[in-house]
Structure 1
Amino acid sequence: MKKKQITATDKKPPSLQKKSSSHEIGAFLKAAGEATVAQKGRLIFSLDATMSRQPTWDKAVTIQASMFDAVGKAGGLSVQLVFFRGINECRASKWVIHAAALRDLMLGIQCLGGQTQISKILDHANRETTKAKVAALVFIGDAIEENIDLLCQKAGELGIKGVRCFFFQDGYDVNVEKGFREMTRLTGGAYFRLGPDSAKELAELLGAIAVYARGGLKALANSDRRGERLLLEQISK
């Protein structure tokens, strides 16, 4: 099984390439299976796996994994995992309906030194939603090392296409927060921070994002669960 290597200049859907380091990703994709039946929504879950996240990676992974647990419970979704790390390594899984397999893949990712590649993720989301509607993009990271004006332009393009972006910040860098908040504003999404004691709340919010990706704002409004209420409040600001 193969997976996508995303490049910054791709104008056509990126070619599929094998991961050079191991066979685990191929195995997980085989176990997960591609999304072959019609789903009610599509959600991209993306993350920064560069070395700056290493000090808090173990704790963050636990929170990140809750996303896939929540998606599995919500059902009715096609999910794709995208991550970047190292020197120009940015990869995307197939769209799958078995989110637990993506969770297992993410748990096996190791951080590698390199610059952020948020621009590639935004471009990738733009391409994907052109092919078939993407309801939401989740991004977890701690840095912005790219031109923020360019990132905001790309985020704005996603907003026009109706892709809400939800940014989760690992850390307390003020400039990163400003950048993440602006991209969420441009897409009608929401910003949150990964704190040491926020695992439960974030799990609820991630679950609410899954509910939104499947059923839209109406699904959030019709739920009385805390996570859905919190997310709807953030989107409505």
Structure 2
Amino acid sequence: MSDRNERAVGKAGATAAAGPSEPGEIDRFLGAAKRLAPLATGQAGRLVFALDATMSRQPTWDLACSLQARMFDVAAGSGGLAVQLVYFRGLGECRASGWVGEPARLNGLMRRIACAGGQTQIARVLRHVRDEASAVPLRAFVYVGDAMEEDIDALAALAGELGLRGIRGFVFQEGDDPAAGSAFATIARLTGGAHARFDSGAPDSLLDLLRGAAAYAAGGREAMQRLSGSNPAVKGLIAAMDGGRR
């Protein structure tokens, strides 16, 4: 790859290009963004924003593109937010962006990525979160998906490791697939985070959840509590976190 600001995640299989977004195109975009403005993290919280980008996910991917700026807005009063996009799709492709501090840059990256068929790679996402936390302060991650096609014991072991490191997982599920729901709830519980379902036909349902996770990443539980007064969904996330404490 020509730009170190985006990289493949993990070692499970070869990275494969899929859809119209060629790897070189993404690299060029990230390189240009990096030259335009370096990320000034300061006291900004960091949030890994991970999404399933397999073929069934395109409508929700587009929805996430339209909502992501609101995560930055809600975090502004708690020192700001830096977001790293992680996604998987196709035949073993799982990639992570650099850290992005401006919603326009994150939106520009997301708009260049098309979903493509493939199996879930949640374990690679969790390993990436673990490894990233060894390099930078990391309080939380978001995972958005609708399916789980992996070994739940392996996912639970990784989630438990993240929980011990104090990294909370906010796992947001589209639909009501029971296998996904059980796995997502386990990941959230073992990280001390929260699992919640949303309806892609009601954009505010996902927006409220993303705002809650962003508030936690930027300002911890106190920031979530401030937001919960006007946001019942955030109140539900706090209750789920309390119920998941070991």
TM-score interval, smaller chain = 0.7 to 0.9
Q: Deviations over 1:25-46 (max 9, x none)?
A: 5314532644243233110001
Whole-Å Cα distance in 1 between the matches of residues 192 and 66 of structure 2?
23
Contact 1:39 1:78 in 2 (8 A): no
Matches within 5 A, 1:202-221: 202-221=206-225
Matches within 5 A, 1:29-178: 30-31=32-33, 33-51=37-55, 53-54=56-57, 57-58=58-59, 60-73=60-73, 74-75=75-76, 76-178=80-182
Contact 2:86 2:125 in 1 (8 A): yes
Matched to 1:122, the amino acid is L
Secondary structure of 2:98's aligned partner: coil
Aligned to 1:230: 236
Single out whichever of 23-32 and 160-169 deviates more from structure 2.
Answer: 23-32
Aligned to 2:10: 7
Secondary structure of 1:180's aligned partner: helix
Whole-Å Cα distance in 2 between the matches of residues 217 and 164 of structure 1?
11
| Root mean square deviation of aligned Cα | 2.1
Aligned to 2:16: none
Q: Deviations over 1:194-232 (max 9, x none)?
A: 314431122122112111100000112233221433332
Contact 1:84 1:116 in 2 (8 A): yes
Whole-Å Cα distance in 1 between the matches of residues 40 and 128 of structure 2?
21
Whole-Å Cα distance in 1 between the matches of residues 182 and 26 of structure 2?
37
Whole-Å Cα distance in 2 between the matches of residues 194 and 221 of structure 1?
21
Whole-Å Cα distance in 1 between the matches of residues 191 and 135 of structure 2?
19
Residue 27 (structure 1) aligned to one of 26, 29, 51: 29
Contact 1:42 1:135 in 2 (8 A): yes
Contact 2:200 2:206 in 1 (8 A): no
Distance 1:150 1:34, change over 3 A: farther
Single out whichever of 34-43 and 177-186 deviates more from structure 2.
Answer: 34-43
Q: Deviations over 1:79-134 (max 9, x none)?
A: 10000111111100001211332123223321222221111110110011111221
Secondary structure of 1:93's aligned partner: strand
Single out whichever of 206-215 and 61-70 deviates more from structure 2.
Answer: 61-70
Distance 1:28 1:48, change over 3 A: same
Contact 1:43 1:78 in 2 (8 A): yes
Aligned to 2:18: none
Secondary structure of 2:39's aligned partner: coil
Whole-Å Cα distance in 1 between the matches of residues 117 and 201 of structure 2?
27
Contact 1:49 1:112 in 2 (8 A): yes
What is the TM-score normalised by the length of structure 1?
0.85
Whole-Å Cα distance in 2 between the matches of residues 99 and 160 of structure 1?
31
Identity of aligned residues (%): 38
Aligned to 1:12: none
Secondary structure of 2:125's aligned partner: helix
Q: List structure 1 segments (4+ residues) > 6 angstroms apart after TM superposition.
A: none
User: How many residue pairs end up in the alignment?
Assistant: 224
Contact 2:72 2:214 in 1 (8 A): no
